[in-house]
RNA sequence: GCGCCCGUAGCUCAGCCGGAUAGAGCAACGGAUUUCUAAUCCGUAGGUCGGGUGUUCGAGUCACCCCGGGCGCGCCA
C-alpha cells in the first residue's frame, strides 16, 4: 500500500518531468496545519538552481500536476512553497485501506537485510543496573521495528562473561564464600565476594597476585576454576532471565565474550600477517596514521603479556557475525563512551576488507535528580530488578486508587504493563543521545507524553467495544464529517509514513512522538464525537475509526516493546 | 593537549537530510463532567534556540571560533 506522501511525491515528480524540470526538493508533511497536510519546497530549490522566480516555477509545475483525486487544488504560498490539503473522501478511502490491512499500511522494506543487533550485554557477576536500560530497551525496539519492516534480525546478547574480574570472583569464591547466602540470593553473594575481594586487592598486593593467579588458571582451563566460573555464569543468567522476562525481551543467540576465546589468537595472527597490525613496545597494535583524529590513538589487540583484550574479542565477533552468521549489517547498541573503540574496530574491519554495514548506535546516560549519573543513596548502581519492581509497585498504587474494582489478577497484570511500559516509553520517547533525568512522577503521569497516557487511549477504545458488545464492524469505507474525525483518520494514515523513518537515524522517539499525537487526536475525537450514541452511518464509521486507532496504538506500542492493558 | 557528544520556555524534552510566524508536556492561570474510564478535553500565558562570525533567497539545523557541561584518549571492559 502506498502512503499519501509517496503517492503525492510520485505524481509531483511526473509533473516536474512534464514541465521539463528535474526532480528537486522534497515533499514532506506540512510543518504547520495552516499549510495543509503536505508541502514541497521544490520550486524554491529549482528557482535557486536556475535563477528563476520560485513562485512562477511553482505555477508552471502546478499546471502539469493532477492530484484532484487526492487533494484540494494545491496552492502556492510564501516564497514558493506548494501546499497540499487532502480531500476528506480521499482520507476516507485511504483509511479504509489501512483498516483492511494487517500491516496497517506499513510497506516492507525494499531491500531486506540480515542484521545482527548487539544490545544489552550485561556483565556476569554483576547485577543488571539502570545503565543497561537504554541499550536493552533501545536495541529491543530497533529489533522489533527492523523485523516488522521485513529484515531478518538476529538479536545477540554479547554478555561480559570473561575478563579480569573473574580472578577476583574466583579468589572470593574460594576464600570468602558464604554457602547459605549463596543459596538465598546467589547473585548478591557473588557480588559481595567480588566487592570484598576488590577492596582487599586494592590494599594488599598479595591478594592482587592471588587473583591474577586464579585468572591465569581459569584461562589455562583449570578444572576447579572453570567449574566455579560456570556456576557464576549460570547464576547470573538466572538474574538476567528474570529481568528479560519482566521486560519481555528475548535473544536469538547469546554469544558472550568467552564464546570467542579460541578465535582470538587467529585474529591477531591474521592482522599481523596482513600487516594491518604491528608490534609496538611488546604489544600488538593497529595504528591509524592516515586518520588525523586517530593518529595518536592506536588500538591494542594483544597486550605485552600476551593476553587479549576486548578489542581482540570485538574483532573476532565482527568476523563471526559476518562470516558465520552471514550478516549484512551489525548494529551495536552501546553507550557513547565507547565511540572511539568502535571507530577503531570498524576501521580495522574495513581494512580487512569487510563491507558489511557496521553501526555504533550510541545513547546518553540516565541521570538522577541531582543531574549526575543515577546512583543509589549509598552511591552504588541501582539494580535494574529493583527498579522494575518499583515501577510495578508504583503503577499498582495508582491503579488501586483510580480503579478499586479490579481483581487481584488484573491488578498484577495491569501494574506490570503500565509500570514496565512507563519505564520503556520514558526512555524511547526521548532522543537517544540526550542524557535524561529519571523521574517516576513524570513517567507514570497520566498526562503528557507517557506510556500510561497512550495506554489509556487504548483502554478507552476497548471499553467502547466492551460496552457495545460487538467487535469491530465490517465497515471498510468510512464516513468522515467532524473535523476531529478527519484529523484522526489522517493521523492514522501517517503510521505507514512514520515507522520506516525510525531506522533512518535509529530514532524510536519519532514513533513515540507519533503515537502521542495519535492518542491526542483520538482523545479529541473521543470528546467531540459520541460513538455508540450516534446515528448510522456515523456510528459504524466511528466504531471503525476506534478499531483502527486501537490497532495502530497497539501495534505502535508493540514495536516499542510496550504492552497494552484492556482495562486500567 | 587531542577527539566525540550535549547546550532550545521556569522544569523535562521534540524539532530527520537547512525552509514559512521555533513546537509539545509538566508547573501557572481560565473554562468544560447527570461520561463511551475527567486517568480526559478546550483555552491563556511563557523563547536574544549558550555567544559570535560566516555560507545563502532562507540557519535552531551547515562551517569556523569562543563559553559552559559530560565523556573518551597503549596494554580495564
Q: What is the span of the domain harbouring residue A62?
A: 4-86
Query: Considering only CA atoms, which residue is closest to the C1' of nucleotide B40?
Result: A523
**In angstroms, rounded to a whole number, what is the distance separating the alpha carbons of residues A549 and A289?**
56
- Mapped onto helix, strand or coil, the DSSP state of residue A163 is coil
All cell numbers assigned to A368: 538522577
pLDDT tens string A523-566: 999 999 999 999 888 999 999 999 999 999 999 999 999 999 99
**Protein-contacted positions of strand B (CB under 7 Å):** 1-7, 12-17, 19-20, 23-27, 36-42, 56-58, 70-77
Query: Considering only CA atoms, which residue is closest to the C1' of nucleotide B22?
Result: A31
> For residue A537, what pLDDT is reported?
87
Here the CATH number for the domain that contains residue A25 is 3.30.1360.70
Q: Which of A136, A158, A201, A117 is nearest to A310 (CA)?
A: A158
Is A115 domain-assigned? no
* Packed helices A186-203 and A223-247: angle between N→C axes, nearest 10 degrees: 120
Nucleotide at minimal C1' distance from the A437 CA: B12
Query: Are A79 and A44 within 8 A, CB to CB?
Result: yes
> For residue A374, what pLDDT is reported?
86
Mean pLDDT of chain A: 92
Is A177 domain-assigned? yes
Number of domains in chain A: 2
pLDDT tens string A58-106: 999 999 999 999 999 999 988 889 999 999 999 999 999 999 999 999 9
Stretch A418-430: mean pLDDT: 94
Nucleotide at minimal C1' distance from the A468 CA: B36
**In angstroms, rounded to a whole number, what is the distance separating the alpha carbons of residues A322 and A283?**
27
Is A77 domain-assigned? yes
- How many angstroms separate the CA of A325 from the C1' of B4? 31
Domain boundary among the residues A86, A107, A123 is at: A86
Tally of CB atoms within 10 A around A250: 12
- How many angstroms separate the CA of A59 from the C1' of B43? 39
Is A483 domain-assigned? no
Domain boundary among the residues A247, A269, A294 is at: A247
Domain boundary among the residues A53, A86, A119 is at: A86
Is A184 domain-assigned? yes
Is A234 domain-assigned? yes
Nucleotide at minimal C1' distance from the A509 CA: B14
**In angstroms, rounded to a whole number, what is the distance separating the alpha carbons of residues A230 and A133?**
26
Is A182 domain-assigned? yes
Tally of CB atoms within 10 A around A355: 9
pLDDT tens string A196-229: 998 888 888 899 899 989 988 998 899 999 999 9
Is A500 domain-assigned? no
**In angstroms, rounded to a whole number, what is the distance separating the alpha carbons of residues A121 and A143?**
15
> For residue A144, what pLDDT is reported?
97
pLDDT tens string A109-146: 989 999 999 999 999 988 898 889 999 999 999 999 99
- How many angstroms separate the CA of A359 from the C1' of B6? 21
**A468: pLDDT strictly greater than 90:** no
Amino acid at each position: 500500500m502506498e502512503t499519501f506522501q509517496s503517492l503525492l511525491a510520485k505524481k509531483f515528480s511526473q509533473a516536474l518531468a512534464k514541465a521539463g524540470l528535474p526532480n528537486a526538493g522534497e515533499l514532506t508533511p506540512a510543518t504547520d496545519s495552516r499549510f495543509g497536510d503536505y508541502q514541497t519546497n521544490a520550486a524554491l530549490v529549482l528557482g535557486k538552481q536556475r535563477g528563476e522566480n520560485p513562485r512562477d516555477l511553482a505555477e508552471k509545475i502546478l499546471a502539469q500536476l493532477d492530484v484532484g483525486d487526492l487533494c484540494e487544488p494545491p496552492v502556492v504560498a510564501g516564497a514558493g512553497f506548494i501546499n497540499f490539503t487532502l480531500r476528506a473522501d480521499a482520507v476516507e478511502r485511504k483509511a479504509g485501506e489501512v483498516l483492511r490491512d494487517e500491516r496497517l499500511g506499513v510497506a516492507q522494506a525494499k531491500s531486506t537485510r540480515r542484521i545482527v543487533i548487539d544490545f544489552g550485554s550485561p556483565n556476569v557477576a554483576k547485577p543488571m543496573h539502570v545503565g543497561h536500560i537504554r541499550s536493552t530497551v533501545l536495541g529491543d525496539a530497533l529489533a522489533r521495528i527492523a523485523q516488522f519492516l521485513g529484515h531478518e534480525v538476529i538479536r545477540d546478547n554479547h554478555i561480559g562473561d570473561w575478563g579480569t574480574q573473574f580472578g577476583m570472583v574466583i579468589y572470593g569464591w574460594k576464600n570468602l564464600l558464604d554457602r547459605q547466602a549463596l543459596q538465598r540470593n546467589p547473585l548478591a553473594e557473588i557480588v559481595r565476594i567480588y566487592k570484598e575481594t576488590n577492596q582487599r586487592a586494592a590494599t594488599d598486593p598479595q591478594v592482587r597476585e592471588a587473583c591474577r593467579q586464579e585468572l591465569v588458571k581459569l584461562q589455562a582451563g583449570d578444572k576447579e576454576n572453570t567449574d566455579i566460573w560456570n556456576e557464576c555464569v549460570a547464576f547470573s543468567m538466572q538474574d538476567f532471565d528474570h529481568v528479560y522476562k519482566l521486560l519481555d525481551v528475548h535473544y536469538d543467540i547469546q554469544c558472550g565474550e568467552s564464546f570467542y576465546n579460541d578465535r582470538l589468537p587467529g585474529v591477531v595472527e591474521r592482522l599481523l600477517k596482513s600487516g594491518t597490525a604491528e608490534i609496538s613496545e611488546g604489544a600488538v597494535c593497529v595504528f591509524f596514521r592516515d586518520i588525523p583524529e586517530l593518529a595518536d590513538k592506536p588500538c591494542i589487540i594483544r597486550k605485552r603479556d600476551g593476553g587479549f583484550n576486548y578489542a581482540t574479542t570485538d574483532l573476532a565477533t565482527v568476523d563471526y557475525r559476518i562470516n558465520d552468521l552471514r550478516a549484512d549489517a551489525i548494529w551495536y547498541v552501546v553507550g557513547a563512551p565507547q565511540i572511539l573503540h568502535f571507530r577503531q574496530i570498524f576501521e580495522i574491519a574495513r581494512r580487512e576488507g569487510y563491507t558489511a554495514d557496521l553501526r555504533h548506535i550510541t545513547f546518553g546516560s540516565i541521570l538522577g535528580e541531582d543531574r549526575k549519573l543515577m546512583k543509589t543513596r549509598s552511591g552504588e548502581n541501582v539494580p535494574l530488578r529493583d527498579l522494575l519492581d518499583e515501577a510495578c509497585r508504583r503503577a499498582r498504587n495508582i491503579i488501586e486508587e483510580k480503579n478499586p474494582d479490579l481483581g487481584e489478577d488484573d491488578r498484577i497484570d495491569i501494574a506490570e504493563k503500565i509500570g514496565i511500559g512507563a519505564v520503556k516509553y520514558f526512555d524511547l520517547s526521548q532522543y537517544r543521545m540526550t542524557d535524561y533525568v529519571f523521574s517516576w512522577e513524570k513517567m507514570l503521569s497520566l498526562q503528557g507524553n507517557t506510556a500510561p497516557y497512550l495506554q489509556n487511549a487504548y483502554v478507552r477504545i476497548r471499553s467502547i467495544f466492551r460496552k457495545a458488545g460487538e467487535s469491530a464492524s465490517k465497515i471498510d469505507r468510512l464516513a468522515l464529517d467532524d473535523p476531529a474525525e478527519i484529523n484522526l483518520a489522517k493521523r492514522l494514515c501517517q503510521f505507514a509514513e512514520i515507522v520506516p523513518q525510525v531506522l533512518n537515524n535509529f530514532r524510536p522517539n519519532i514513533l513515540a512522538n507519533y503515537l502521542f499525537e495519535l492518542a491526542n487526536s483520538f482523545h479529541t475525537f473521543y470528546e467531540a464525537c459520541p460513538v455508540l450514541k450516534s446515528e448510522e452511518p456515523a456510528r459504524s464509521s466511528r466504531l471503525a475509526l476506534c478499531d483502527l486507532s486501537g490497532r495502530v496504538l497497539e501495534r505502535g506500542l508493540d514495536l516499542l516493546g510496550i504492552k497494552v492493558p484492556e482495562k486500567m
